[in-house]
Amino acid sequence: MHEDFRISDHLDCAVSLNNIGNILTNQGNYKEAYDSHQQALRVRQKILSSEHPDIACSYNNIGDVLHKQGKYKEAHEHHFQALEIREKSLPADHPRIANSLNNIGSVFESQKNYTRAIDYYQRALDIREKVLPPIHPDIAHSFNNIGNILNKQGNYEMRKQYLPENHIDIADSLNSIGLIRQKQQNYAEALELFQQSLKLKEIYLPQDHPSMAINYHNIANILRLQENYTNCLDYYVRAHKIRERYLPPNDTDIADSLYNIGFTYDQLNQPTRALEHLKKAADIYKGLPTEISAFNKIQRHIQRLLTEKSST
């Protein structure tokens, strides 16, 4: 019993080291992340069999860090080790095998070895399409990876062979799921879904397609909720430019864009630019009887900014 407890204790330590390594990786602290993942690997190697999935997990995470450091040869070695273990210990169509194949493809892409990258991306996609729901984000991610490489190669005809005919429907579904996650206040996942939807559209649609404005607007809303106002403004402006091109000048979506831009400028302590956009939004809402509440809301915002300006 005592020995079992100690083994369990050591494995918990490895999990903690692994989690710390992931956090450090996300923070861009790759040296410390590498050290933490190496410690986790050493603990696991002392306790677990050489083909245990947790060993593969450590190899995978170390490979990710090395990839981000630009150490492609070493990254490949670790990802191939993870793949070898997973192929021996997991079913042939397990999603983690697809993840390893995808990671290997990503390193090949960084090395500009696009032929081999597509090969591994395709193998990952084949597994994901077999075992995951059609609108799963990992499937969209695979389509994005393949489409991006074909774009880099200028191979626009071949990309039609790789993208599903309903890829826009998939993008719209990801966007819809993102809205659900937003309502659930799961902002990180919502943002990821909106971005994946956008990437799918970018492969096949022109940059100024009206559908792109929806994604730009949704991404901006999440960034606003996260108080990332600088990046939020960029996406609101992108959405507004597309809406201006395709919509009537008094459309409520244009007024909404102007209000959002004005609000964001206010958060960035740029009251002059905020007032400029808020007044334009108010002018549109003023002519729309059904939008009287929105008009009154903006007028109060404008009045507050004018009062603050006059008192400084």
Does the pLDDT of residue 4 top 50, yes or no?
no
80 plus 9 within the same structural domain: yes
**Which one-letter amino acid corresponds to residue 40?**
A
pTM over 0.75: no
- Report the distance separating Cα 84 and Cα 192, nearest Å: 29
For residue 171, what pLDDT band results from cuts at 50, 70 and 90? confident
In the predicted model, what is the mean pLDDT of the chain? 89
Could you give the number of structural domains in the chain?
4
Tokens linked to 49: 């069999």
Identify the domain boundary among 56, 90, 124.
Answer: 90
DSSP secondary structure letter of residue 48: S
* Domain of residue 177, residue span: 164-223
- Report the distance separating Cα 46 and Cα 37, nearest Å: 14
Does the pLDDT of residue 213 top 60, yes or no?
yes
DSSP secondary structure letter of residue 99: H
Hey, what's the torsion of the CAs at 91, 97, 99, 100, to 10 degrees?
A: 160
- Which among 219, 155, 153 is positioned nearest to 187, based on CA atoms? 219
Does the pLDDT of residue 237 top 60, yes or no?
yes
32 in a structural domain: yes
> Which CB contacts under 8 angstroms, 24+ apart, belong to 76-85?
76/104, 76/107, 79/103, 79/104, 79/107, 80/104, 81/56, 82/56, 82/57, 83/56, 85/50, 85/51, 85/52, 85/53, 85/55, 85/56, 85/59
Least confident range of 65-74, 130-139, 226-235, 243-252: 130-139
For residue 1, what pLDDT band results from cuts at 50, 70 and 90? very low
Q: What is the mean pLDDT of residues 87-114?
A: 96
145 in a structural domain: yes
**Which one-letter amino acid corresponds to residue 183?**
K
71 plus 6 within the same structural domain: yes
Q: What is the mean pLDDT of residues 159-165?
A: 60
Q: What percent of the chain has pLDDT over 70?
A: 93
205 plus 130 within the same structural domain: no
Does the pLDDT of residue 86 top 80, yes or no?
yes
Task: Answer yes or no: are the C-beta atoms of 235 and 223 closer than 8 Å.
Answer: yes
**Residue that wins the pLDDT comparison between 272 and 289:** 272
Q: What percent of the chain has pLDDT over 90?
A: 62
